[in-house]
């Protein structure tokens, strides 16, 4: 029987992290599948770090990142540039991930080409089209187009069924980010990078709070409030070290450096490569973030997470108690952080809860499902 053709497309660092183990799983099954990788390079430098770490060389690289990039030209460019790739390779299946502009635009292009669209991490919803923007609409549009929906949890499957998606097309897999995390923790432990070795010396034995923040909806007043909260925590807990890899966006850098730059127990550093960030998560005591991926990863490492967002498309973590929503409310960020640090029993309970996002076998389930369709 002829091999079916599979094209895996991604463009940002988070997508690359979550799709890397799927690429590996498909390549392991090369007797049944012809698999190629296409990157749009929506994020160039951060994407390349992940490709290098996971030892993936794309077959097609659209290299679309430009200065002053906006959603209009990015979306149009992805659709136009993918036409050539789709006509050359003629894939039977195209895989997209989550909710980026690459995901939404690729699903449209793949639909135009006649390929089956497979949506990895399908069914996440806030039901508010402006939060997160533009991700909520990106994933909803992709959900309308997709032929196969690989949903990470029962909740995400339920969201899809409420939108009249055929239940036969929805497969619960767990989240591929846990597959990536398990491989990565092992890798960075065995062979720490120079950055990790330097950080080990700098951090010593101190307890660490790791902070990340970049969401568009928090720009402006939100970041002012976040920074004031971090300043208060640092002053009240001088024995702790707050480590904040600061996003390169000027709307993030300006308030962070202005409000937190002179505080002795706040360490502002450049964004970390994926492997270094995994090590940093594992090294920290707790995490304060507005990242979606961190909400999924940290519970597998036993790290409590405070989420600086008012809504989350990952309610399973809130329901399981592995994360706490604090928004950008200064008082709430401070009070929840201090309570977790001071309340040993609460901290221990939160650190040992089961991760609702899976067991590290999501990619195996995806490939097995595709194989079952082909047999």
- CA–CA dist 123, 235 (Å, integer): 41
Q: Is 121 a catalytic residue?
A: yes
Q: 297 catalytic, yes or no?
A: no
84-98 pLDDT tens trace: 999 999 999 999 999
The mean pLDDT value of the chain amounts to 93
pLDDT band at 164 (very low <50, low <70, confident <90, very high): very high
**Is 310 in the active site?**
no
CB burial string 102-121: b at 16+ within 10 A, e below: bbbbbbbbbbebebbbbbbb
Helix and strand numbers (H, E) in the chain are 16, 13
Cα 156 from Cα 313, distance rounded (Å): 9
Cis amide leading into 229 (omega within 30) = no
Is 369 annotated as catalytic? no
CATH number of 190-351: 3.40.50.2000
Q: Is 349 a catalytic residue?
A: no
Euclidean distance between CA atoms 180 and 173, whole angstroms: 14
Could you give the CA distance from residue 305 to residue 311 in angstroms, rounded to a whole number? 15
User: What pLDDT is attached to residue 243?
Assistant: 97
Structure confidence at residue 1 (pLDDT): 63
- Confidence tier at 309 by pLDDT (50, 70, 90): confident
Give 293 or 8, the one with higher predicted confidence: 8
Residue 312 has pLDDT above 90, yes or no: no
Residue-wise pLDDT for 176-195, tens only, equals: 999 999 999 988 988 899 99
Mean pLDDT for the stretch of residues 139-166: 97
**What percentage of the chain has pLDDT greater than the value 70?**
100
Give the C-alpha separation, 334 to 340, whole Å: 10
Residues in CB range of 100: below 8 A, 6 or more apart? 10, 11, 12, 14, 15, 42, 135, 138
Report the percent of the chain where pLDDT is more than 90: 78
215: pLDDT strictly greater than 90: no
Catalytic residue among 135, 297, 313, 336: 135
Instruction: Quickly state the pLDDT bin for 65 (edges 50, 70, 90).
Output: confident
Count of Cβ atoms closer than 10 Å to residue 84 Cβ:
11
Task: Give pLDDT tens digits for 245-292.
Answer: 998 788 888 989 999 999 999 999 999 999 999 999 999 999 999 887
198 has pLDDT over 90: yes
C-alpha to C-alpha distance for 361 and 124, rounded to whole angstroms: 19
What's the whole-number mean pLDDT along residues 42-51? 87
β-pairing, 4-10 vs 93-97, is parallel
The answer to whether the 4-174+360-374 and 190-351 domains have the same CATH topology is yes
Q: 370 φ, ψ to 5°?
A: -60, -40
- Which of these is catalytic: 34, 59, 183, 214? 214
> Given its phi and psi angles, is residue 55 left (phi above 0), alpha (psi -120 to 50 degrees) or beta?
left
Give the span between the Cα atoms of 121 and 15, in whole angstroms: 10
User: At residue 3, does pLDDT exceed 80?
Assistant: yes
Torsion-angle region of 90 (φ positive above 0: left; ψ -120 to 50: alpha; else: beta)? left
User: How far is Cα 102 from Cα 106, in angstroms, rounded to an integer?
Assistant: 6
- Active-site hit among 25, 121, 136, 296: 121
- pTM for the full predicted model: 0.85
User: In the predicted model, what is the mean pLDDT of residues 206-225?
Assistant: 87
pLDDT at 292: 79
pLDDT value for 314: 83
Q: 36-40, 80-84, 129-133, 265-269 — which is least confidently predicted?
A: 129-133
Question: How many angstroms separate the first and last alpha carbons of the chain?
Answer: 10
- Which residue ranges make up each domain of the chain? 4-174+360-374, 190-351
Q: Which residue in this structure is represented by tokens 């919803």? A: 125
pLDDT reported for residue 220: 80
Does position 100 have pLDDT exceeding 90, yes or no? yes
Mean pLDDT to the nearest integer, 148-165:
97
**What CA–CA distance (Å, rounded) separates 152 from 300?**
15
Nearest by Cα to 109 from 75, 132, 137:
75
Give the residue-averaged pLDDT of 74-80: 96
Whether domain 4-174+360-374 has CATH 3.40.50.2000: the reply is yes
Span 23-52, average pLDDT: 92
Give the tens place of pLDDT for each residue, 322-351: 999 999 999 999 999 999 999 999 999 999
Q: Which of 32, 219, 247, 369 is catalytic?
A: 247
Decide: helix, strand or coil at residue 116: strand
Residue 44: burial class (beta carbons within 10 Å; 0-12, 13-18, 19+): middle
Q: From the candidates 99, 179, 297, 316, which is the catalytic residue?
A: 99
Total residues belonging to the chain: 375
104 touches 142 (CB < 8 A)? yes
362 touches 174 (CB < 8 A): yes
Active site residue 247: yes
**One of 216, 219, 224, 364 is an active-site residue; which one?**
216
């Amino acid at each position: 029987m002829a091999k079916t053709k599979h094209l895996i497309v991604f463009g940002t660092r988070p997508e690359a992290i979550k799709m890397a183990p799927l690429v590996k799983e498909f390549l392991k099954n090369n007797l049944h599948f012809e698999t190629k990788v296409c990157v749009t390079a929506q994020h160039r430098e951060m994407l390349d770090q992940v490709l290098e770490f996971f030892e993936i060389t794309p077959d097609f690289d659209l290299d679309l990142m430009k200065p002053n990039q906006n959603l209009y030209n990015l979306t149009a460019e992805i659709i136009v540039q993918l036409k050539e790739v789709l006509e050359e390779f003629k894939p039977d299946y195209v895989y997209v991930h989550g909710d980026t502009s690459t995901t939404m635009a690729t699903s449209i292009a793949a639909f135009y080409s006649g390929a089956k669209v497979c949506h990895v991490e399908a069914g996440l919803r806030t039901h508010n089209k402006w939060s997160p923007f533009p991700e909520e609409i990106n994933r909803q549009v992709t959900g309308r187009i997709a032929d196969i929906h690989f949903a990470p949890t029962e909740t995400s499957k339920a969201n899809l069924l409420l939108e009249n998606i055929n239940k036969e097309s929805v497969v619960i897999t767990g989240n591929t980010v846990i597959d990536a995390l398990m491989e990565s923790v092992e890798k960075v432990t065995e062979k720490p990078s120079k950055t990790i070795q330097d950080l080990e010396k700098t951090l010593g034995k101190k307890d660490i709070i790791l902070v990340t923040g970049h969401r568009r909806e928090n720009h402006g007043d939100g970041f002012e409030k976040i920074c004031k909260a971090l300043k208060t925590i640092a002053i009240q807990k001088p024995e702790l070290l707050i480590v904040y890899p600061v996003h390169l966006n000027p709307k993030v850098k300006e308030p962070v450096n202005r409000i937190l730059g002179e505080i002795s127990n706040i360490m502002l550093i450049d964004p970390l490569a994926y492997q270094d960030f995994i090590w940093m998560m594992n090294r920290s005591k707790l995490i304060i973030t507005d990242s979606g991926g961190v909400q999924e990863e940290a519970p597998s490492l036993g790290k409590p997470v405070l989420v600086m967002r008012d809504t989350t498309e990952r309610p399973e973590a809130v329901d399981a108690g592995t994360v706490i929503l604090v928004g950008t409310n200064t008082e709430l960020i401070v009070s929840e952080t201090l309570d977790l640090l001071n309340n040993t029993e609460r901290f221990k309970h939160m650190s040992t809860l089961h991760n609702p996002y899976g067991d590290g076998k999501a990619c195996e389930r995806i490939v097995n499902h595709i194989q079952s369709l082909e047999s």
